[in-house]
Structure formats: C-alpha cells, structure tokens
Structure 1
C-alpha cells in the first residue's frame, strides 16, 4: 500500500512538472539538475550569479529559499552565493515512480520584496534492486492442466525509474514450464508461467523454479523469489469469471456498506468441484483489505472503510474464485475501483513572505506581503480564488499560478487606523464550494503629518496687579495625533514687543508642560493688557508647529490714593484762597474741588466730604462733584475768614484718601470775580486760554467720521432709554492712536442716577493724550459741547481755574439727586498709564 504522503507528493510533483513545462514556454526559468543521494553541502549551482545578484545582496536583501515540501532540502551559502544540498534527497521518496522529478523552489528576496522561481531536477541513480512481495510463491497445478496453460505470477517492483527500473524476468532451468511476459494496461509487465508439457503428479509432485527480476542499471541489480509448483490430482475445470477485468467508479463520500460490484464466475464441474467460493487474492495488500470486504458465497464486494481521494485515487483488487473439488481449482479476475473526487478539502492560505510594517505615506501599490493558496482536491474542486474584505485599503494582485501579492490600494492614515487585520477568504470552485479565512496583521508606522493643536486658538488670563514674581499665570495645552517623537510637544514663546520691550522679559514658559510664569510684578497703571504668542512644536522630522494667543489682562488693585488737581496748592500756595461776597445766597458756588485716581472701577470712584470746617452750617461739598456751595445765606455774624478741610476718598478696598484745605474770605461790596474774569478772558484772552482754544480746534479736527457717527448713535440710544428728563454726557479719549494703531477705543454708557453720560477712555494723564466730553442736557434749550484737552496736570488745573472763575453762578447746573455708584456698569479702557478724568457737572454755556 502506497503511503498517503508519497501519493500526495507524486501528484504534486506531476502538477509542478506540468506547470513548469507550461511556464517554460512563457518565461525563462532557472533550472538545475542533480542526482539523488548527494552529500550534504554539495553544490547545486551559483544562485547569485544566475539571478544576477551580487554577494552583498544575499545578506543585505535577506535572500532565502522556501520549499513547499516539509523538508528544507536546499539552502544558500551566503559567502559564495551557491545553492547547496541541505539534507539527504531520495528521489523515490519524493516522486515515487514518476519519470520526472522536479522540486520547485521559491527564492524570496526582501527589501524590496521579489520572488523568483527555480527548479531542481532530481535524476535517478540505480540504488534500488527489484523485489518481490515474498520470497516464495506457491502454485497448485492440476495434473490435467493442458499444455500452454498460463499462470500469472507476482510482479516485482523497482522504485527506480528510466533505465534503472525493472526491465526483464528470467526463470531457472526446469523441465515443465517456460516464462512469458504479458503487458497489461498502463504498460506494466506481468510474468506468466506457461506449462510446456503435461504434469504427472505420480512422477514428480513438486517443481521448484527460481524467478529472477532484472533492472536496466549499470551494474545490473536483481531480485528473486522461489516458485513452488504443487501438482494436484484431477479436477479438470476451474472457475471462470465473465470478465478478466472489472472497472467501477466510486464516490469519495460513499457510505460504509455500499455495494461496489458483484463479479460472476462459473465452474463446469458438478458437485463439490463446481461449488465456488470467492475471496481476495492471497497477495492482496492491507490497503485493500482495510477498505473492502467480499462475500465468499456471492462474490459481492462492499465498502467497509472511508475513502479518501487525496490518499488513493484507485484500487486494484485481485478476486479469486475457488471450487470445492479435490484438488481445488481457482479462477482469477481483477477489479479496478476508480475513486471520484469530492470537494472535501478547504483551500489553504500560505504566507510566502511575512507582512512587514508599512509607512502611512506609502504610495498605492506598495507590496505588503506575498501569499499563495493551495487545495488538495482536483479539477474544479482544487481551483482557488482569493478575496479581501471591501473595507480595507488593500488589494490582492495575482502573479502566477496561485501566488498573490498583497498591495496597498489607497491612502493610509495611522491616526485613523494604526493596525489592520486583513481577512483573506480563499474559496474553491467545487460544488458546494469550500472556503477558509486567514487574518493578516499589518501595522501602519507613523509619519509626522499632524501639527500640534491647542485646546483653543486663544486664551484669556486675568491677573491681579502687584502679584508675586515667579508665580504661575496660566497653562496652555496642545495635543498631537501622531505617535512617538512625532507627538512629543515642546512649548515656547514667540518673540514680540510689549511697550518696546521683549515679551520674554515679562514671562517665561515651561517647555515641557506649557505652564507660563511671571518674571516680575505687574502694575495696572503702567500695563493693562498684553498678549503672548505661544508656539507648540513636535519633535518629528521635519517638525510641525502651531500657535495660540494668550491675552493677559491685568486687574486693578486699589494701590493709588486720589490726587487733587484743583485747587492746586503748588500753583496757588500752601492753601487755596477763595473770595466770596457776603451777599451770597444759599447755593452759591464757592469753588470746586477736583481730584483724580489712577486706579479704575470702584477703586477710582471718588467722593468728597467736609472733614473739618470753621462753620459747618455755612458750607457743604457735593459728594460726587466736589462743588463747594453755601448751605445758607451769609450773615453779618459769620467770620470773614472761613477754613474748610475737605477729605477725598476712593471706593476701593482698602480705602485710599487725600485732603485739601480751602480758605474762604468773606468780603463786603465785592464784585463778581467770576464775571470779571470771564469778561477779561473774552476781551483780553490770556496766552493760556488761547492755547486751550487751539487745542480744542485741533481736537475737533482729529475726530474721525466714525467717532462722530458712534457718538450720534450712542446719544440717540441714551435719549431713547431715558424717558424722564436728564443729561447725557460723553467723553472721548484718544490715546496715541497714531503712534500705536493697535490700541483699543472703549466707549461706555453710564446711566447711574440723574446724570447720564458716555465715556470714551484712553491715554495717560501725563502723556500727549486728548480727552473729550460731550454734555447734552435736556434741561436746556439746546445741547452744549465742552471739549477739554489736559496736556498735563498743571494745564488741567489751570483750565479748571479759568472755567471756575469765568462762569457765573447761574451757569452751573445742579442736580437735586445724588448719583448712586454702580460699579458693575462702569468699564475702563485697557490703555497704558490711563488717568480717568470724570467731570460730573454739565456746563451750559458757550466758549
């Protein structure tokens, strides 16, 4: 019985033989020819030279040889580039009786992947002698056997092929028989013993003949068996079959107990000599005995084992029919059972080259792996097709036979999918078709194609002034979709200027975690807002980056006390001396105290009150405007010299305060000094008032059309929102807009209390700034505009002095209600060194 693996390799060798015969007509193949049984290390051929490779390519490109057999019979000598024998090669074990024995090899060259097919033909040597199944063969021949009767003998076998195979038979010299050779189907030679003369059992009952089988090798090898002929007494008819050869086809999946065939035999004798018993031949191999059974009475052959087309494609059964005569006579026939294939083997997917990691920017068509498919079935049952899942960006590209290359078919993105488990389905063409699946893991390596992304494009940071240097201001964070060094982020601050100073002198950043720290304490009165450009850069090659803006807003603290700008002790002496007539009535405007606070918000809200007074019943100061007025008419009993200590407080926490002393002289018959001063200023304008007029003209010319439109819109809105009578005051500060166009202009509408005003803020008290206030009072028949430009603290005091002295009492507008402070409605612009001048009274007069 032929082993299963040997039959498979015989079939495989025959298939590859036919394939390479066809392939050789298509393209040139590298082919070597060697004899079997070469020693290990024997050179087959110079593989590197034949493939056009250098010796360095064998190591650098990782050349290796893959065999589809279980054994690795060949290897490559990396030092010489030669294909050498790696293990013992037995042609008979590989190819059996096939005349052609070709081992197909796959030469795989990686980096880049390349596949070559080579063939190694294994030539036969005469290393096997012919042999018989047994050393002795017994024949029973009746003495009545006719001359010329032929008796088939056991055939010898020789694993060698060609000229080394079995060629002839001879028998030893004897006096009863001769040898004839009969060719049967398939070209097989069967020796037959021919009776040359009648036998006489009484003369010689046993004949011994030596049968010798010879091959065609050089030297010739031979094998022998002893034929023992026993001469039987007369039973002169033997069973005869209807056919010498029966042929039947049987499906591979036939059930046990199925009837294979029922051969018929007859015997012309009568009685026991005509009764026939059926059996398998005495030399029937175990492979047949384990698969089939025969009924000794009917001759019916049934299946008792499980057929496997891939193990054995056909069975030859020798059936013997014996009578019960004495001696027994027997007849022979041969039953040829051909097995038809059933699609019972699923296709198999084999890796020719293991898949490698692939870059995410690999172009379409990049080879990932080499694979092949095989099916042990035959015909359509062995035809295999491979398919991929539609969702993956990969394709199978057929090369030849059942070999394929797995290639990319589209763009890859590691951030979308870093690992692919590619499922390949192999399906044969059988009915029904069988399939198998195999998953190929493919890892996508990262390419630096994603810049770091901040959590938001800009950040707002609010920082109290006078903070501790080195404290953390804020932490920015960015993320990168890439991997490894491509995702490692370092933070830095881009160089920029804040008040003509590099921003790096204000803050620094931790490059690892994005934490921003202050370099020193900040002063709201000097710096209100600045911005930082933070850059996040990855460590890829080449690196990518992105930027984010951090807006830092300095929050005001009440660290400035109110500053008195009128009356000015520096300009008018140690005390502020004011004169007023004794004829003054209640509500007479004596003077006006004006103070400013460098802080903002609540911290800049100023209130006035009389702290000490010579006569507390005579004078009062407006809590918010600082106007000093008489509470009653002056009497003759009042002292001519009055002294007021006015305390000025802000609304911050803690409260900051300042004081100013006002000395008032009461005189009889005093003309209105303010009217005289006004008349004098109109007739003989001083140098200072001329300069003020010039400033006003220049200020009006510098106001843009957009600002005027803004004022009108805000005024209309203010009037609509105030159904009751009131005044609407607007002030505009223009702080170095021409020098620094990036500064912001802030316009605010205040509707606290009876006085309503709009402030446009900006600029420094001591800088070349411009501040405009527009006062529109519904209480008058028309609206007046008062434009003030304080070029310095001294100038501002002088302007107040001139205005205070030039305006009569009737020109001042009083409000009976006090203005309530609502800090949530007040906003101040973010300009450097801003001093907020707030004049609460509206002046209804013409300059």
Structure 2
C-alpha cells in the first residue's frame, strides 16, 4: 500500500515536471543494464517515428553514459551500473542531469534522473578490534565509555544503525543521539574486579535499518585497570570552530583544556588525536601534546572538505593512564577562490550564411566549484556580433544567431565567451569559439567593366588571341568557379560562333577566321560568365571588336565615259592648245582612309611628251600645243598608287592617236612589279590618215561617214592579262589585273572627253574550260555594242565592296583581239 502511494506521488511529481519543461525520473542504484526508467519520448511530447529523422540525441553532464534511449520505442533505460555512493557520496539528493536535443527544429529538453539509495552497504567499523581500559572498583556502575561507532555509506533509513552487545553481566550498550551525532556508549552495569576477570572480550554488532538488514561487528577488548581511577575531563564534549578556506598554515584552531581530579603523576595530562582518526585529519591538523593547541597543518579547501571531525583524547600519566575524550567540529567557510569553468558541449558548425536568426550554434555549460554568490555565474559575449547568449537550463547557455551573416563580408567569427561569478572580488574565465560561415551561392560573377573595346587589324591569322575577359566571384569552391561562353547571335548570314570563340575556363577570346575590314568593321557580342553553384548565377559583359583597316587592296582602274553625246570615239586635234583635257582616269580602292587615297603620276615623265596627268584628279591634259613633230601617236604609262604602308599601285598604259580621224586608245593596267601585257596594234587606216596631211579633211569626212553607215574597224576591249582573285590562307584576297583601253578622240566633239570601254570579265567555267572569246561589234544603229558607253550616259564605274562572299581563286579571262577591218 505504501509502495502504491509512493508510485502515485512519483508519477504526479513527474507530470508536474513535464508541464514545467523538465522531466524527472527515479531509478534505484545498482540497477541492471536495460532496466526501464521511463517513456521519455512520450513524456517529452515527441513521436517515436520522428526520433531518428530529427537526430534525437542525449547528452549527460560530464559523466558516463549511465542511461540510453531506445530509438525504436522512445524508452529510457539503464545503460551501465550506477553506484549512488560513488556518484554522490553522503549527499541526501543524488540526481543525474540529462539534456535531450532534437533538430528540425532544434529543441532542448532537460531530464533529471534521481538515483535512489538501496541497502547495499553494510555497517563497517574502522578497526576490527577496539581496546578499552577500565579501572577496577573505582569505576562506578552506570559509568559510560564512548565507543567508535560504525559507518554506513547508505543514506536515510538504510544508514540508521542499531547496536547490540554480546551478552555480559558487566556491560551493556546504549546509543546516545543528539543533533550533532549519534554515538554508542558502553555502560558499566556493575563494578569490575580485576582479580576475578582481568580481561573482557565482547562482540559489538551494528545493524542498519534497510531491508534486508546488513550488519557489521567489532571486537571489544576491555582491560581492567588498577588504582588510577580518575580520567581527565574536558570542559565540553563537542567544540565547534569555523575557519575560512584561505586560512594560512600554522593558524591556531582551538586550545583545549582538560582536568584530572587525581594528583601527582596521575594528574599530568597529554593531548593527542584519537588513534582511530582518519588520515585526512592528521594531514590537515596538528596538536601540541602539552598545551592542547590545535593548529592548521595543510591548506583548507571548501570544495574538497566542508567539515572536519577531530577526535581528541586527554591521557593522564598515572600508572594506569586514564583517558578523557572530546570532539572538535571544524567547519570550512567558502571564499571565492575558484574561477568559473566553461565547456562547449555541442556545436552546430559551420553556420551557413543563409541561416535564419535564432539558429542554435553551440551549447555552453558553465560551473563554479564555489558556493553561494561565489558560485553564481553569468555569461556574456562581446557586443556588435551577430550572435547572442540565451540561458536554457541551470548553468547551460545556448549561443544563437541574432542576425543574418554574410560570408563574403566576414568568413568566420571568433567569439570570446566570458563567465564571471558574483564573488568579491569576482573571478572570470573565458573560452574562444571559432564559428566559420559556410558559403552559399548568392553572388553572381561580375566583370570589372560593363563594356570591353578591342581593336584588331584585319587579315588576322585564324586562332589569334583577341582579348581576355575575366569575371570575379567572391564565393568559395564551386560557387566561385567561373566558366565563360558566348551569347550566340547571327552576324549577317553566319552565326557568331563562326567568327569567335571563348575558352570556357580562361576567358580567352580567339578569332576563328580572319577579319576583313571591307566586309566587317565592328563585331559586337556578349560574353556570359556562369559559376558552378546550385543554382548557378551568371553575369554578362559586352565586347566590341573594331576591325582596323590594312592596305590589302590595290587601286583598280574603272572605265569612264567621255562626257559627250557622240556615239563614236573622238580625235585629239593637232590644233589642241595647252591645257586641253584629253581624258580622265578613274580608279578606286576598296580600302579606307589613307589606304584608299589615290595619287596619279606618269611613270616615265620623259616619254610623256606634251601630256601630263593630274596628281589627284587623274585628268590627262596637254602641256602645250600639239605639233606634227609629236608624231601620229603617244603612249603614256600612268602609275596609280595609294598612300598605304606599304603602298600598292597599278599602272595604266594609255595610247593616244593624234590626227583628224578616230584612233584607238588602249589602256593597260597592272600591279606594281608585274609585266606589261601586249598592246593592241594601232589601226592601220588611222595611221595612214594621220600621215596623209594633204587629205586630212577628206579623210575625216570619209572616216566619219564610214563609222556612221558601215562597220568600221572593230575596236576590241579586254584585259591584257588574266584577272586573278585568290583566297589566301588567312582568308584575305588580293586583286591583280592588267587592263587595256582604247582611247578614241576626234576634233568633231564639242568637248574633249575620255571614252572608256568597259572590258568583260567572264566567269570561270565549272569544268575549268576557257571562256569563249567575246567581240565588240557595232549594233544596228551604228553605235558600239556593250563595250562602249554612250557619251551622254556619264556613268562611272564604282567597284562594290565584297561582304562575306569571297571570290574563288583561279578566275581567268582572255584578252579581246580586234577583228579584221572590213573593206570600205
């Protein structure tokens, strides 16, 4: 019945503790492994199925793992043997504090398991035999002799001792109990007679109050003394003294004074510690045998021993010495001589930089061996940190995150936790906790500038390195690993990836093909930098590639009209005055700037005769009036060159026929350093007309009428040398040609203009066969065919720039040859 009431009280108390945030159990000491303690998961309000996912774990306060939890059913059971006496000594309350921690979310529960005492320690005497000396006859019946009692390591009723003496007609046992102590007294029932019984052997049995009872025994050897029948007597049986634990060695504790009613040698007293005194007392105190002064011999420590019990005896020096006894209780008072102690019991590191405020970083336990205010401890951390301390249970604190952290700003925190007691003066201790911040991918790669401008000369070799882009990411490991790529788009009819490529790791930008300024002046694209985090972040930058022109195109001579409306060629009258414009050379250059700025000059000034060419206009004019001595024809070799470095040039050979009938003028252009092509022969009838000075007027009329009504000598136009267009290995192309032109001038024109005949450039046959020869013949109206431009048309040939399309290599054409002249 009493057990049932006790069980109900325990359950009621446990329920009250759970409601207050703490669970308390009790278990007897010496319980076997596996002994049921309590349904911990159920009492904490946790589901058994969530123990493992929430990383259920239990932490004890610096002791062995006496208890364990079955994660399958949430039952707390005994894991290893618990000895209450070993764990708590004589403390009336013995409990083990446990902390239960679960994650997701993190919660901490506090569990207290009380260790109940069982009667597992028998009473024990410090010696197997106690000797007493009692004077004969002089000792009256009823005299009492203190005996050294037994000790029991148990507590409560298990340590309540009763004593029993073996049967004796002279002695009995009596137990005296007061507030300070419980001691056994040997009581004399009747006077002793040494001659009858000189020695009494008795057995003293001590029995505790446990169930079952345990006993201990000691042999009492009582010697009956003769004569000296008065023992020394102290003023009081118990003395109480209080000392602080910092009392210096040699300090006086107490001075004892005992008296003896005997006289002479039987009155002289010597003081000494009882022979049964424990060694700790002998090591801590010393006694003067003559004066009875007790002094401190060692260093007192409140945390080690709070109370000393010193048994002192006074022995007279009679023939049969008699002894008086007393006890000194020395209470040690606490001083603040112990600094607090810090211990980190659990760490949740590292802390991710996206962890929310309130995240528990560490559990910190503090303790102080002092008592009272000296043992009260407060914890603190430095200010201006994104952390704070939260008191959880007794001397436990949680270090929690107070605000968001950024690893790129501070990668780790060194937190100094300081514990300070309330003693005077106060003592403190500190411990450093290193809290690293784990990286998350919250920073996109960034370029140093939003736009990069790159200048590259045209005709670069394929694979040439143009530029290097670099993006930085302040993150760590894969979050900072940056890869580069080009944002694809179309450039004309081709994809951007056919022009450039970017190395994914280094950011090097390479040209995949040569650039042609005449085809592409600016190439703008975007490069993307992406990190390897999850999810990955990226940043873009714009790259502008400006292609710089090089002098890779030679001037090209183009045909031009004479500016008149007459359908036929003109003659340069022999009567032309100085400054008369014979014709104009038109040339273009596909380059730009200085590379396309052209200059005209006569290659052989001495052979120019009465003609000159405009340096920048290309106009051919007379320098003086023409004379018959100048001959029937003149040939000018004109050099057209640009201002590039190095300069490129082309030569044009102009043949002029002087007279009063139309003559053929032939042009021949070539690049500098090339060989001249064959010139078309002078029209024989034109030369005869020039020589026939006497019939000049008639010849002019005849030729004029012949050209109008009948097909005259056919003037054939064509390149003197094959036009070659080639792709080099870097993709650029050069243009080389020789041109032949017939310049026909006559006096019948209102204005002396240059007639330019456009040559035909036939396409290459697919099978490589030669192109058919094309002839220029007058049409039905008597005008020239497709070779001659009408004077009134005033069309000027402008070569178009080639964009993306590159002419194939090996295009060839055959020069035109004039047909046989018809007989008039």
TM over 0.5: yes
Query: What is the match of residue 302 of structure 2?
Result: 309
What does residue range 558-573 of structure 1 map to in structure 2 within 5 Å?
A: 558-565=551-558, 567=560
**Aligned-pair CA distance for 1:222:** 1.8
1:88 aligns with 2:81: yes
What does residue range 422-461 of structure 1 map to in structure 2 within 5 Å?
A: 422-461=415-454
Does the 8 Å contact 1:567/1:576 carry over to 2?
Answer: no
Does the 8 Å contact 2:563/2:792 carry over to 1?
Answer: no
The higher radius of gyration belongs to 2
Inter-CA distance 85–576: structure 2 relative to 1 (3 Å threshold): farther
**Aligned-pair CA distance for 1:107:** 1.8
Query: What is the match of residue 145 of structure 2?
Result: 151
Q: Deviations over 1:784-830 (max 9, x none)?
A: xxxxxxxxxx99997699xxxxxxxxxxxxxxxxxxxxxxxxxxxx9
Inter-CA distance 138–576: structure 2 relative to 1 (3 Å threshold): farther
Inter-CA distance 797–141: structure 2 relative to 1 (3 Å threshold): farther
**Aligned-pair CA distance for 1:87:** 1.2
Inter-CA distance 609–161: structure 2 relative to 1 (3 Å threshold): same
Inter-CA distance 394–832: structure 2 relative to 1 (3 Å threshold): farther
Does the 8 Å contact 2:121/2:214 carry over to 1?
Answer: yes
Separation (CA, whole Å) in 2 of partners of 1:200 and 1:488: 106
Inter-CA distance 797–337: structure 2 relative to 1 (3 Å threshold): farther
Inter-CA distance 573–268: structure 2 relative to 1 (3 Å threshold): farther
1:645 aligns with 2:637: yes
Specify which of 64, 67, 72 is matched with residue 60 of structure 2: 67
1:597 aligns with 2:604: no
Query: What is the match of residue 610 of structure 1?
Result: 602
Specify which of 201, 204, 226 is matched with residue 197 of structure 2: 204
**Aligned-pair CA distance for 1:191:** 0.9
**Aligned-pair CA distance for 1:189:** 1.6
1:536 aligns with 2:529: yes
Does the 8 Å contact 1:420/1:443 carry over to 2?
Answer: yes
Does the 8 Å contact 1:567/1:797 carry over to 2?
Answer: no
1:659 aligns with 2:655: no
1:373 aligns with 2:366: yes
Separation (CA, whole Å) in 1 of partners of 2:49 and 2:140: 79
Does the 8 Å contact 1:61/1:111 carry over to 2?
Answer: yes
**Residues 192-201 or 620-629, more deviating:** 620-629
Query: What is the match of residue 169 of structure 1?
Result: 163
* Count of paired positions: 661
Separation (CA, whole Å) in 2 of partners of 1:414 and 1:23: 45
Higher helix share: 1
Specify which of 105, 109, 113 is matched with residue 98 of structure 2: 105
Q: Deviations over 1:16-37 (max 9, x none)?
A: x9xx999949815323232222
**Aligned-pair CA distance for 1:446:** 1.6
Q: Secondary structure at the match of 1:550?
A: strand
What does residue range 651-730 of structure 1 map to in structure 2 within 5 Å?
A: 651-662=643-654
Inter-CA distance 28–464: structure 2 relative to 1 (3 Å threshold): closer
Does the 8 Å contact 2:17/2:24 carry over to 1?
Answer: no
Inter-CA distance 498–569: structure 2 relative to 1 (3 Å threshold): farther
Q: Secondary structure at the match of 2:51?
A: helix
**Aligned-pair CA distance for 1:558:** 1.9
Does the 8 Å contact 2:40/2:74 carry over to 1?
Answer: yes
Inter-CA distance 224–106: structure 2 relative to 1 (3 Å threshold): same
**Aligned-pair CA distance for 1:315:** 0.5
Inter-CA distance 439–115: structure 2 relative to 1 (3 Å threshold): same
Tell me the TM-score normalized by structure 2. 0.74
What does residue range 502-541 of structure 1 map to in structure 2 within 5 Å?
A: 502-541=495-534
Does the 8 Å contact 2:554/2:649 carry over to 1?
Answer: yes
Query: What is the match of residue 401 of structure 2?
Result: 408
Query: What is the match of residue 179 of structure 1?
Result: 173
1:491 aligns with 2:484: yes
Does the 8 Å contact 2:143/2:187 carry over to 1?
Answer: yes
**Aligned-pair CA distance for 1:661:** 4.3
What does residue range 753-772 of structure 1 map to in structure 2 within 5 Å?
A: none
Query: What is the match of residue 352 of structure 1?
Result: 345
Query: What is the match of residue 240 of structure 1?
Result: 233
**Aligned-pair CA distance for 1:539:** 2.6
**Aligned-pair CA distance for 1:182:** 1.3
Tell me the TM-score normalized by structure 1. 0.72
Query: What is the match of residue 31 of structure 1?
Result: 24
Query: What is the match of residue 623 of structure 1?
Result: 615
Separation (CA, whole Å) in 2 of partners of 1:831 and 1:390: 73
Does the 8 Å contact 1:643/1:663 carry over to 2?
Answer: yes
Does the 8 Å contact 1:350/1:373 carry over to 2?
Answer: yes
Q: Deviations over 1:418-463 (max 9, x none)?
A: 3333221222222332222222232322211101112432222223
Q: Secondary structure at the match of 1:437?
A: strand
Q: Which runs of 5+ in 1 are unaligned?
A: 1-16, 669-793, 802-829, 834-847
Does the 8 Å contact 1:364/1:411 carry over to 2?
Answer: yes
Query: What is the match of residue 285 of structure 1?
Result: 278
Q: Secondary structure at the match of 1:56?
A: helix
Q: Secondary structure at the match of 1:414?
A: coil
Does the 8 Å contact 1:290/1:305 carry over to 2?
Answer: yes
Specify which of 320, 325, 331 is matched with residue 324 of structure 2: 331
**Residues 156-165 or 277-286, more deviating:** 156-165
Does the 8 Å contact 2:561/2:791 carry over to 1?
Answer: no
Does the 8 Å contact 2:30/2:81 carry over to 1?
Answer: yes
Separation (CA, whole Å) in 1 of partners of 2:368 and 2:252: 30
**Aligned-pair CA distance for 1:219:** 3.1
Query: What is the match of residue 340 of structure 1?
Result: 333
Query: What is the match of residue 55 of structure 1?
Result: 48
**Aligned-pair CA distance for 1:63:** 2.0
Separation (CA, whole Å) in 2 of partners of 1:210 and 1:797: 159
1:140 aligns with 2:105: no
Q: Which runs of 5+ in 2 are unaligned?
A: 1-9, 661-788, 805-824
Separation (CA, whole Å) in 2 of partners of 1:26 and 1:247: 45
**Residues 69-78 or 540-549, more deviating:** 69-78
Inter-CA distance 93–662: structure 2 relative to 1 (3 Å threshold): same
Inter-CA distance 147–831: structure 2 relative to 1 (3 Å threshold): farther
Does the 8 Å contact 1:580/1:590 carry over to 2?
Answer: no
Inter-CA distance 289–332: structure 2 relative to 1 (3 Å threshold): same
Q: Secondary structure at the match of 1:60?
A: coil
Does the 8 Å contact 1:64/1:75 carry over to 2?
Answer: no
Inter-CA distance 50–24: structure 2 relative to 1 (3 Å threshold): closer
Inter-CA distance 373–572: structure 2 relative to 1 (3 Å threshold): farther
Q: Secondary structure at the match of 2:608?
A: coil
Does the 8 Å contact 1:569/1:575 carry over to 2?
Answer: no
**Aligned-pair CA distance for 1:287:** 0.7
1:480 aligns with 2:473: yes
Query: What is the match of residue 764 of structure 2?
Result: none
Specify which of 580, 584, 593 is matched with residue 577 of structure 2: 584
Q: Secondary structure at the match of 1:290?
A: helix
1:225 aligns with 2:221: no
Q: Deviations over 1:70-101 (max 9, x none)?
A: 32111122333222211112222223333433
Q: Secondary structure at the match of 2:603?
A: strand
